[in-house]
Amino acid sequence: MSLQRRLTIFFMVIVIIPLTVAGFVVQRIVGREISKRTELSLPGALSSVVTTFEQRTEMLDERLNSTFDSDDPPPLAGASGELDEYLQDGLMTDEVLDFVYYVSSDGSIRGSAENTPSFLKGVERPSPQEIASSGGTGHAYVTASVPVTGTGSLVGGFWLDDEILLGADQKGVGLSIVVDGRVIASTLPLDWPKKLGVEFPGTFRADIGDGVIARARELGNGVSVMASIPATRASSASSSVLKSILVLLVLALIGTAALAILLARLITRPLDEVSLAAQAVSEGRFDQRIPVRSRDEVGRLAVAFNDMTDRLASTIGELQSSRSMLQRAVRRVGETLRSTHEMPQLLESLLNTAADAVGAGAAILWMFTPTREELYPAMARGAVLSQLGRVKVGEGVVGVAAERGTNVVLPSLGGGPIPSRNEPRSPTLIAVPLYSHERIMAVLVTYKQAAERPFHDEDVETLAFLAEQGGVAVENVLLHEEAQRLSLTDGLTGVYNRRYLQMQARQVLATAVRFKRPFSILMMDLDHFKHVNDTFGHSRGDAILIEFSKRVSGTLREVDTFARYGGEEFVCLLSETAVDGAMITAAKILEAVRSGPFGERGDPPVTLTVSIGIATFPVHGETFRSLIESADRALYGAKTEGRDRARTSGDPLQSLQPAT
């Protein structure tokens, strides 16, 4: 017999039979018990109301004596309105009194203040004159009187309304104030006082109508308080069902406990063994085995668990071996990255290692444009560069990673950024920024298709490690390049020399050809500079060249390249600048040179001008050499036309004339 059948038989015998027997027993007991307990709640409610009534009655004289404050005497000789206001102020601060009247010696009411009573609809409110002349408990109120300085008396009291009843309403008991057999205040629904409106039998038990149980106590002068409750509530179906369910639940729990004891050997022991073994596996101990003691469901579970641990141990071993090999490979690549000084080779090695390390189908290295406003795909593996485009900083996955300097992983629980139209539309990717000198210099992105295994946290850590090592390697290359740059600057002016200009021009030209972006070259020559050397000497001429370099550098952008081409000739390489932009820059240089004479304080002033030739890719040439030749021809044209001006190659109309 299977374990499932044995459990079914045990539950039927131990749980169902006791519940059936208990149902018949509970049906008789519960009804009688509820009726008894219901009647016991009525005397307590009555006692609470009577206590409240007696406490307020005993406090009346004390409250009335304190109404007229000795420090603030009442305006007895003033107008009646002043006395009413005085009494109302005293009444507002009192929690016992509901009304206060000042009655003169002739029996007339000169001042009054009262709160509105909460009587049932149709109950008339007693008049002040009736209350003042009653001298005690009336049909709807309780009063007391104290004399006032021989001129009259102060009459005050409280209403016999809902306020006395509300504080004592307990567990569904209805409370009512009855005066001469008539209900004047009640906590019951509005239709119940009508049912209770009969001759009241005093302080004894009363069954009022069918289905109502009541108790009453007399308060005096024909006033009584009654507590009532519907008899149907005692035998309501909901209470009976509730108590029956509670009893059945207790019996069911007892039966379940007994069943658990009987089944402990059959279920608890095997489950404990499975639980302990599973916990050990979660801690990395895959040598766990569960004894197979039977051929039922528990036995088959033990066999399946043992097979699972065997396969899991084998798989984990293979993964650990692969991970160790990968870590060693990454370390070797990291050492290679730190040792090389060739930037393209370094970045290519970083890209290939990243793709292999995380099993990515494609990887792209995105780098900043000179203005750092966009990123372009510099290198790719598994992707075609011509199918990609530039991405603005802050847009798409690459732009967000570049702007925030954080890793971006897709898919993400929060949704994540959406790739721009110039990025691969891959649903699975990891983007990590590469830092150099605490500044982001590129973004490395690895991609997978939807059918491939998604990236895990270990993949993100691996790429972050590679990015960190790549950043160190880039810093080493940049330091090496900085040393080379220092060797490629002009020793006199501090600007770049001709060799560096040629190196930079190759990079700018390659970018311009790939993305079809223009750039311009300005060739400059100081006018009549030989006369300066002949007149003031070469030392003064060198100082003027240094000052000229500073003035020109102040007009250029950070991404532009300014180099000394030879003698008094200089060249500006303007990235991503068309003819119009080059003309504007040339105008700024002309103005900077004309702005004032050259020389420091104490030196004879020297006024100079400069002539500028402009050439733009691809309008005036498609190679650096052809552009230099076009700019040189334009410079010659500017000299021929009178100097102190800028001119483009092959178009005499495109020139800047001297300011007049």
DSSP letters, 250-299, are: HHHHHHHHHHHHHHIIIIIHHHHHHHHHHHHHHTT----------SSHHH
Kindly tell me if the per-residue pLDDT of 655 is higher than 80: no
CA–CA dist 420, 402 (Å, integer): 14
DSSP 199-247: ---TTS-B--STTEEEEEEEEETTEEEEEEEEHHHHT-HHHHHHHHHHH
Q: Which of 116-120, 361-365, 576-580 has the lowest mean pLDDT?
A: 116-120
pLDDT band at residue 256 under the 50/70/90 scheme: low
What does the pLDDT average to over 224-249?
A: 65
230 beta partners: 212
Dihedrals phi, psi of 257, to nearest 5 degrees: -60, -45
Residue with tokens 């050259």: 598
Dihedrals phi, psi of 399, to nearest 5 degrees: -65, -40
The 10s digit of each residue's pLDDT in 64-110 is 777 766 566 677 766 668 888 888 887 877 778 888 888 888 878 88
Q: Are 231 and 214 in contact (CB under 8 A)?
A: no
In sequence order, what are the residues at sequence separation of 6 or more whose Cβ sits closer than 8 angstroms to the Cβ of residue 650? Answer: 620, 630, 633, 634
At residue 161, the pLDDT reads: 83
Helix (H, G, I), strand (E, B), or coil: what is residue 95? Answer: coil
Q: Which H or E element spans position 323?
A: helix 297-339
Q: What is the mean pLDDT of the chain?
A: 79
In sequence order, what are the residues at sequence separation of 6 or more whose Cβ sits closer than 8 angstroms to the Cβ of residue 49? Answer: 164, 165, 168, 175, 217, 225, 227
How big, in percent rounded to 5, are the helix, strand and coil portions of the chain? Answer: 50, 20, 30
The 10s digit of each residue's pLDDT in 134-190 is 766 667 888 888 887 767 888 888 888 888 887 665 666 888 888 877 788 888 765
More confident residue, 363 or 475: 363
CA–CA dist 92, 73 (Å, integer): 17
At residue 586, the pLDDT reads: 97
What does the pLDDT average to over 420-447?
A: 90
Kindly tell me if the per-residue pLDDT of 10 is higher than 80: no
At residue 563, the pLDDT reads: 96
Kindly tell me if the per-residue pLDDT of 317 is higher than 90: no
CA–CA dist 276, 434 (Å, integer): 46
DSSP state for residue 395 in the 8-state scheme? S
Instruction: State the Cα angle at 283 between 277 and 289, rounded to 5°.
Output: 25
Kindly tell me if the per-residue pLDDT of 432 is higher than 90: yes
Q: What percent of the chain shows pLDDT beyond 90?
A: 31
pLDDT band at residue 206 under the 50/70/90 scheme: very low
Q: Which of 87-96, 396-405, 518-527, 603-612 has the lowest mean pLDDT?
A: 87-96
Q: Which of 211-220, 488-497, 573-582, 594-603 has the lowest mean pLDDT?
A: 211-220
Residue 559 CB neighbour total at 10 angstroms: 15
Q: Which H or E element spans position 573?
A: strand 569-574
Name the most confidently modeled range: 49-63, 138-152, 298-312, 606-620. 606-620
Instruction: Give just the sign of the alpha carbon dihedral 114, 116, 117, 119.
Output: positive
**Helices 343-358 and 457-487, interaxial angle, to 10°?**
180
Q: Are 612 and 579 in contact (CB under 8 A)?
A: no
More confident residue, 343 or 197: 343
At residue 610, the pLDDT reads: 96
Residue 217 structure tokens: 């106590």
At residue 447, the pLDDT reads: 93
Residue with tokens 């009459």: 155
Q: Which of 179-193, 257-271, 404-418, 469-483 has the lowest mean pLDDT?
A: 257-271
pLDDT band at residue 252 under the 50/70/90 scheme: low
Neighbour order of strands in the sheet with 152-159: 109-114, 99-104, 152-159, 141-148
pLDDT band at residue 533 under the 50/70/90 scheme: very high
Q: Which of 136-145, 183-192, 325-334, 351-360 has the lowest mean pLDDT?
A: 325-334
Find, among 416, 461, 458, 442, the residue nearest to 363 by Cα.
442
At residue 645, the pLDDT reads: 96
Instruction: Give just the sign of the alpha carbon dihedral 616, 621, 623, 626.
Output: negative
Sort strands 439-448 and 519-526 into parallel, antiparallel or unpaired.
Answer: unpaired
For the question of whether the overall pTM of this predicted structure is more than 0.95, the answer is no
Find, among 128, 204, 134, 193, the residue nearest to 162 by Cα.
193
What does the pLDDT average to over 265-275?
A: 65
CA–CA dist 504, 484 (Å, integer): 13
DSSP 455-495: P-HHHHHHHHHHHHHHHHHHHHHHHHHHHHHHHTB-TTT-S
pLDDT band at residue 397 under the 50/70/90 scheme: very high
More confident residue, 610 or 39: 610
What are the angstrom distances between the C-alpha of 381 and each of 64, 406, 440, 447, 504?
A: 99, 23, 21, 10, 26
What are the angstrom distances between the C-alpha of 584 and each of 459, 578, 655?
A: 50, 10, 11
pLDDT band at residue 289 under the 50/70/90 scheme: confident
CA–CA dist 89, 51 (Å, integer): 28
Sort strands 182-186 and 174-179 into parallel, antiparallel or unpaired.
Answer: antiparallel
Kindly tell me if the per-residue pLDDT of 311 is higher than 70: yes
At residue 565, the pLDDT reads: 93
Kindly tell me if the per-residue pLDDT of 530 is higher than 80: yes
The 10s digit of each residue's pLDDT in 492-526 is 998 999 989 999 999 999 999 999 999 999 999 99
At residue 564, the pLDDT reads: 94
More confident residue, 458 or 274: 458
DSSP state for residue 609 in the 8-state scheme? -
Q: Are 653 and 584 in contact (CB under 8 A)?
A: no
pLDDT band at residue 253 under the 50/70/90 scheme: low
Instruction: Give just the sign of the alpha carbon dihedral 309, 315, 321, 324.
Output: negative
At residue 233, the pLDDT reads: 59
Q: Are 613 and 636 in contact (CB under 8 A)?
A: yes
At residue 11, the pLDDT reads: 63
CA–CA dist 229, 269 (Å, integer): 56
At residue 436, the pLDDT reads: 79
pLDDT band at residue 660 under the 50/70/90 scheme: very low
Q: Which residues of 79-98 are buried (b: 16+ CB within 10 A; e: fewer)?
A: eeeebbebbeebbeebebbb
Number of Cα atoms under 13 Å in the Cβ half of residue 167: 10
Kindly tell me if the per-residue pLDDT of 616 is higher than 90: yes
